[in-house]
Amino acid sequence: MNRRKFLAATGAALANAAIPHRGWTAPAAESHAADLRLRIEPCTLDIGRGVQINTVAYNGQVPGPLLRFKKGKPVTIDVTNASKNPDLVHWHGLTTETLNDGAVEEGSPLIAPGATLRYHLTPNPSGTRWYHTHAMAMGDLSLAAYTGQFGFLLVDGAPDPGRHDKEINLAIHHWGPHFVPMVETMRAESQNMPQTTGSDVGYDHATINAHMLGAGEPIRVKQGERVLFRLLNASATENAVLALPGHTFKVVAMDGNPVPTPYTVEVLSLAVAERVDVIVEMNSPGVWILGSTLKESRDIGLGVVVEYAGKSGEPVWRDPQPTEWDYTRFAATDAVAEPEETFTLTFRDAGTLNGSKFDTWTINGDAWPNVKPLMVKHGKRYRMLFRNASGDQHPIHLHRHSFEVTRIDDQHLSGLIKDTVNVMPLQTVAVDFLADNPGDALLHCHQQLHMDYGFMQIIKYTD
């Protein structure tokens, strides 16, 4: 489906959602109840003192219910759409087939308002995955990833994340989206790049697990505990950099996949849609702030209090030492297999087109739906060379597959398996993937604004 014509095609989408598809069943046609039920519905959140948010969420809560499955054990989930807009659920990081993946561009059906559809999943791979809406928003900032439609999906199975005493899942989100002048013009001037004139999105509030810093209950820990934190950036457009003063993070997994080289850092960086699993040794008693390294982000709520047993007082923040996030620290350096073929994909901002408030994003000069598909053969290994010719960061996500990060600019690496990789301004990143899951697979920037305005491409299997 042409994502730009989504709203005009709503009537057709509703009809499509009401028709049974291969791989789909309406609950009434089943002889047994689903394993789980999710309900897409409006809700009101009290995220901070005197701050209420009207949004759409799963089962009236943010994040949505924690889904925990066993690797390889089939599960059915009935999703009822009690909102006023057609929608669908994407099971991010799972190797499901196209109809159940939850992406219109792959052929997954929309769920009409008032309708219920059943997803059939066989959870794989193990690790920290998540689920979220894959609808579009365009210029309506009350839809899609700007809402509270997201939740953790954990798949249990080898390998495990290592010894720990407690698990804590933390999801970042931004609220109160609004249009702001595009800052890309200033970046363009400094980097001798074409200027742009569109709008960007800013936010009034930020939360971790639906509460602003200082609201809600603190994270309570005991001295000597080893805590496994699973962190998810579920923001529509905002990357995040986090620290916990007095503590360090041992990174053990990224996007749910164990890293070849577990490495301890003081600061974590999570682009939109990325997950990072870390072990924190609780060895610095006190009351602390786990939050954004940017004061302006903490001021709008991006943080949570960590309180040791027996300690009280005002939570403490200390700025960490300046550092750059570097994927290579967590990777190996072994040689990787040569790909069958290399696709070079150059990302650029084409500026505002056809009266749009927002800039159009292109891949090799074309914007979705005019981007040519990448054609692959089952069983072959391919390399995608992501060339970011813009001044923005781009978290690139590949559906239904994981990939190995094999080069960042001139640095070669191996063993770092992800499903979303953040490509920095003017950076080149190479990722390799095995074409082992036939059917259309969507490749896109996970920033909602970029995805809606052209930044998508389909990978097609030729056999």
Q: What is the DSSP track for 283-303?
A: -S-SEEEEEESSHHHHHTT-E
Determine, yes or no, domain membership for 381: yes
Token readout for 233 is 């950036």
Same domain, 171 and 306: yes
Would you say 318 and 246 are in contact if contact means Cβ atoms under 8 Å apart?
A: yes
Would you say 236 and 145 are in contact if contact means Cβ atoms under 8 Å apart?
A: yes
Q: Residue 451: phi, psi to the nearest 5?
A: -60, -45
Same domain, 320 and 346: no
Same domain, 119 and 178: no
Determine, yes or no, domain membership for 252: yes
Determine, yes or no, domain membership for 335: no
Mean pLDDT of 406-413: 97
More confident residue, 7 or 329: 329
pLDDT tens readout for residues 250-278? 999 999 999 999 999 999 999 999 999 99
Pick the last residue of a domain from 156, 187, 207. Answer: 156
Same domain, 275 and 352: no
Determine, yes or no, domain membership for 331: no
Determine, yes or no, domain membership for 333: no
User: Over the Cα atoms of the chain, what is R_g?
Assistant: 21
Q: Residue 18 and residue 116: Cα distance in Å, rounded?
A: 9
Examine the pLDDT at 42 and tell me if it is beyond 80: yes
Determine, yes or no, domain membership for 330: no
Work out how many domains the chain is built from and give that number: 3
Same domain, 197 and 134: no
Predicted confidence band of residue 218 (pLDDT cuts 50, 70, 90): very high
Same domain, 147 and 171: no
Pick the last residue of a domain from 264, 290, 325. Answer: 325
Percent of the chain scoring above 90 in pLDDT: 84
Q: Residue 74 and residue 420: Cα distance in Å, rounded?
A: 25
Domain of 146, in residue numbers: 3-156
Same domain, 261 and 345: no
Same domain, 316 and 179: yes
Widest Cα–Cα separation across the chain? 63
Same domain, 173 and 293: yes
Examine the pLDDT at 140 and tell me if it is beyond 90: yes
Q: Residue 350 and residue 451: Cα distance in Å, rounded?
A: 14
Nearest residue to 38 (alpha-carbon basis) of 188, 150, 129: 150
Same domain, 120 and 66: yes
Determine, yes or no, domain membership for 161: no
Same domain, 314 and 356: no
Pick the last residue of a domain from 325, 351, 386. Answer: 325
Same domain, 91 and 221: no
pLDDT tens readout for residues 312-367? 999 999 999 999 999 999 999 999 999 999 999 999 998 877 666 778 999 999 99
Would you say 121 and 77 are in contact if contact means Cβ atoms under 8 Å apart?
A: yes
Q: Residue 73 and residue 71: Cα distance in Å, rounded?
A: 6
Token readout for 279 is 């072990």
Domain CATH for 435: 2.60.40.420
199-202 vs 178-181, strand pairing mode: antiparallel
Determine, yes or no, domain membership for 334: no
Mean pLDDT of 55-76: 98
Least confident of 3-12, 291-300, 436-445: 3-12
Q: Which residues, 6 or more positions from 410, have their beta carbon under 8 angstroms from its beta carbon? A: none
